Amino acid sequence: MSEAFMNAARTASSDAAVPVAVGWTDCDLDPSAAEHSAEAIAGLGFRHAIINGLPLPTATLSPTALPAGLTTRTVIPAPPAPSAALLRDLASQGVCGVRFTLTGDTEAARAEMESVLRYADRVVPFGWHIELALDAGAVLTPHEWTLMRLPVAVCLSGVAELVARHGLDDPEIGFLLDLLRIGRSWIRLPGRVPAGDDDAFRALVGTMATIRPDRLVWGSGAGATPAGNGAGHITAALATLARWLPDAALRAAVLGTNPARFLGFGSPDRAAVAAEAAGL
Contact between 71 and 96 (Cβ < 8 Å): no
Q: Which pLDDT tens digit goes with each residue over 193-251? A: 988 899 999 999 999 999 999 999 999 998 655 555 667 888 999 999 999 999 999 99
Predicted local distance difference test score (pLDDT) of residue 23 = 84
The confidence score (pLDDT) of residue 56 equals 53
H helix count then E strand count, the chain: 12, 9
Structure-model confidence comparison of residues 18 and 147, the more confident one: 147
CATH of span 24-278: 3.20.20.140
Residue type, 228: G
How far apart CA 34 and CA 205 sit, in angstroms, is: 27
pLDDT band for position 38 (cuts 50, 70, 90): confident
pLDDT at 266: 63
Q: Which amino acid is at 140?
A: L
Tens digits of residue pLDDT in 39-73: 788 888 898 999 887 765 444 444 444 545 678 89
Domain edges within the chain:
24-278
Residues in contact with 235: Cβ distance below 8 Å, sequence separation at least 6, in sequence order: 44
Q: What is the model's pLDDT at position 41?
A: 82
pTM (predicted TM-score): 0.84
CA atoms of 69 and 48, how far apart (whole Å): 8
> Using CA atoms, how far apart are residues 144 and 146, in angstroms rounded to an integer?
6
CA atoms within 13 A on the CB side of 213: 25
pLDDT tens-digit readout, 69-128: 678 899 999 988 788 899 999 998 889 999 999 998 999 999 999 999 999 999 999 999
Phi and psi for 26 in degrees, rounded to 5? Answer: -95, 115
